Structure 1
Amino acid sequence: MTMPIAPIEGAKPETDRALLMVLIERHYQTYRKPGRHWLEYHFAKPSAFGLQLLEALATCELIASGLGFQLAKELAEIPYAQNKNGQQMFEHLLQKLFEVTVLRTLVSIDWPEGTIFLHEPTNPVSKKRPEFVVDTPERVFVFEVKCPGLLDHQHKRTKNPRQFPARTMLSKSEIRERALPLFAGDVTLPQDNKLKDFLVSAEEKIAGFQTAKPQTGVLVVAWDGSMYEPISSFNHVESGLFTEASFYKDATGIRVPFAAIDGVIVLNHLTKMHRASQELYDEHRPDVFVLEPNCPSPNFWCQNIGGSSLPDFVLKAFDAVLAESMAMFADYAPTEFVMWLDPRAFARNLAARRRKAALVYGVCPVPLSLS
């Protein structure tokens, strides 16, 4: 991490913040490579999004010296690219912007007096580096942050008429393709392998980090509005990673427990970040780097078997609710099959049925409706 800036004697915190925004932007420019860059438009004016990003970085710097400057450096080192490489680099940018949101949230929590923050410390056992550690007097919280590349998956989900969010008997290939011809063809498959890989990586970084105090390990994952996908991967009764029926087992057939991970916070933030970077804002969360409380579409906390719960003040900071408490809503319920309907195609089909009925019977004998 960069050397922290000496505090300005007699300055007010908001004055510090404004000055830090300027200094962080200059710091970013010193690491920016020649040529175009993803954020050059937002920092040139700066745009509303650019100001929000700089304010988030300044907030990190005010509370955890060196953090805001380090994140600015990492943002500057993500090159602009086009075509397929451009998509990969843009998803890398979204990942780093998501990390800024998570770290800004963590440092802004009112932790107990004497709390110490560590950014990417080295695990003494695995030598891996978790994203962020909050060392309180009573307990150590170790956070790992993951942001998947969902652009290809989102395209498939939009294109394909059918989706299996979880591994179930219904989704098995021999049933899907032979016994149930309805399911043959283009199908969007579960994303549980991606989430399983995140858990494996987080386990390596978190396990054994702290032995002197009780430890809570947390994986924070970005997702879009289709929250039933990660919930199905974690909680579905037939295969969920956080159930006894988990599809991920060791060589002896026993469920891999991910014992160092107490649970996962999933933020439905990816589409919001994508849109905000194009200056298309969500009316409920105009500042994409701030997790406003009581959002109509909350984030969720999914607790592992045997894992310890997160304190309420941490869940509140992430606007996260228990996954089980949202199971009554379709977007949050573990799901095994989804059929997507195109309203326009359905309307065209309905019109064709009406015309056929009129030709055969002279009039349509039975009212046909969209319901």
Structure 2
Amino acid sequence: MDLKDYASDPRRKFVVSVMGQRVRRDICCMYLFAVDLITANDWHWLKYHFSQYRPHSVGLALASRCAKIEAKMPNEGVSFVSRIASLSNRQSDRMHYQQILQVLAEILVIERVLGLSWPENTSFFLEPAGRTGKRPELMVSTPDHQFLFEVKSPSLLDHQAKRASNGIQLPHRGLVPLEQIDELVSDQSVTLPRDTPVKDFLVSCEKKFSGFPTVPGANISVIVWDDYIYEPIGSLLGIRGGLLTLDTWNIDSSGDPVTYPSIDGIILIRHMTYFQRALAEDDLIDRHGLFDFGSATALPNVFIQNPNGREVPESIKTGLRAIDVEDKRLAHMAEYHVQDYVFWM
């Protein structure tokens, strides 16, 4: 069924009456589209959220964000709903759950970027193809600039479980020689760094961004993490071993540090915890829904400048609530500093 067919769906009036308030037509249509796709499955992680008499806040939030994407990029909001709906019929499958979280991360960032204050005659392209055929997540083309965005989010489920049960955490491998990492693997009481996916993200972004000509603008890698934001910060900036430092552990076949000249800046967004808590109907504390990006007083996201990269406009950093990792406002917040070891009590 096409999305426009839902405008005359009799259930639309029912949803509005049950909610007791006006629900925009486009959101209601997207919601009913998601209901039909997701509830048609024998099993889906979000089936509960789309099967309630009174529409669930998670279902409406997803429909709202996808409707906003659809308004700027026709068919793309529908595509996101379809992708989530396709992750189905594997009961309690953790891989599907993680993939759903990753799609939610893409929706979070893309909808936010689309809503920034762009000049007139700006165009948006989802997954544009570069010279190499590699496709970043989003291209924003203004009359004078081009901005590329790639959204990444790691699989953190196993890592979160280890972090919660182990007494010692090694957030990044800077203080431990690579040849000693294998020795730590056998010690189940130590939570090892989750820096390999960060490295993989940088390598992937470099390949995607390098396929586009260097024109005025910026290429931005966005990584969605959970509350333990010191982990990717340490992976990137650790004094010994940081992936953006000359002492990086990621070296090429000639023994030289691997660099990422096509990446201008990296934004770390601490939102994965909110996704997980919202889906589990837990208290979100300082947020009001699945995609609530946080108020001006909420804990910020982080911007990291690639030392050799172009300057990323303040409007983009501000729009994604990201402040520079060296900003004095973070000086007294331990979770924004590189941690060599963490001992959990």
Instruction: Report the TM-score, using the length of structure 2 for normalisation.
Output: 0.86
**Match for 2:165 among 156, 159, 172?**
159
- Aligned-partner Cα distance in 2 for 1:332–1:65: 38
> SS of the counterpart of 2:24?
helix
> SS of the counterpart of 1:321?
strand
Deviation per residue, 1:11-42 (Å, 9 max, x gap): xxxx9971112222333355445312222222
1:170·1:176 contact (CA, 8 Å) conserved in 2?
Answer: no
- Aligned-partner Cα distance in 2 for 1:340–1:208: 44
**Match for 2:335 among 319, 331, 337?**
331
- Aligned-partner Cα distance in 1 for 2:31–2:181: 56
1:67: which partner in 2?
76
- Return closer, same or farther for 1:176/1:116 CA change in 2, 3 Å cut-off: closer
- Aligned-partner Cα distance in 2 for 1:64–1:169: 46
- Correspondences of 1:1-371 after superposition (within 5 Å): 18-29=24-35, 31-32=37-38, 34-45=41-52, 46-82=55-91, 86-123=93-130, 125-170=131-176, 174=180, 186-211=189-214, 213-325=215-327, 326-341=330-345
- Aligned-partner Cα distance in 2 for 1:175–1:314: 38
2:303·2:323 contact (CA, 8 Å) conserved in 1?
Answer: yes
- Return closer, same or farther for 1:74/1:17 CA change in 2, 3 Å cut-off: farther
Deviation per residue, 1:176-230 (Å, 9 max, x gap): 969xxxx96621111111100011111111113235x324111111111111100
CA RMSD of aligned residues (A): 2.7
What are structure 1's unaligned runs of at least 5 residues? 9-14, 342-371
Q: CA deviation at 1:298?
A: 1.0
- Aligned-partner Cα distance in 2 for 1:170–1:204: 29
- Return closer, same or farther for 1:27/1:174 CA change in 2, 3 Å cut-off: closer
- Aligned-partner Cα distance in 2 for 1:185–1:25: 44
2:300·2:323 contact (CA, 8 Å) conserved in 1?
Answer: yes
2:224·2:268 contact (CA, 8 Å) conserved in 1?
Answer: yes
What are structure 2's unaligned runs of at least 5 residues? 8-20
- Aligned-partner Cα distance in 2 for 1:107–1:173: 45
Deviation per residue, 1:126-166 (Å, 9 max, x gap): 21111111111121111111111101001111111111112
- Aligned-partner Cα distance in 2 for 1:62–1:295: 30
- Aligned-partner Cα distance in 1 for 2:104–2:283: 15
> SS of the counterpart of 1:122?
coil
> SS of the counterpart of 1:142?
strand
- Aligned-partner Cα distance in 2 for 1:81–1:184: 32
1:165·1:335 contact (CA, 8 Å) conserved in 2?
Answer: yes
- Return closer, same or farther for 1:203/1:170 CA change in 2, 3 Å cut-off: closer
- Count the aligned residue pairs: 325
Deviation per residue, 1:77-114 (Å, 9 max, x gap): 1114235xx11110111111111111110111111111
> SS of the counterpart of 1:57?
helix
- Return closer, same or farther for 1:34/1:185 CA change in 2, 3 Å cut-off: closer
- Aligned-partner Cα distance in 2 for 1:87–1:185: 21
One-letter code of the match for 2:26? Answer: L
2:172·2:195 contact (CA, 8 Å) conserved in 1?
Answer: yes
Deviates more, 1:35-44 or 1:101-110: 35-44
- Return closer, same or farther for 1:310/1:186 CA change in 2, 3 Å cut-off: same
State, as a whole percentage, how many aligned pairs show the same letter.
33
- Aligned-partner Cα distance in 2 for 1:175–1:56: 42
- Aligned-partner Cα distance in 2 for 1:60–1:164: 39
Q: CA deviation at 1:251?
A: 1.4
Which structure has the larger Rg over C-alpha atoms? 1
1:295·1:319 contact (CA, 8 Å) conserved in 2?
Answer: no
Deviation per residue, 1:316-357 (Å, 9 max, x gap): 11111111222542101112111111xxxxxxxxxxxxxxxx
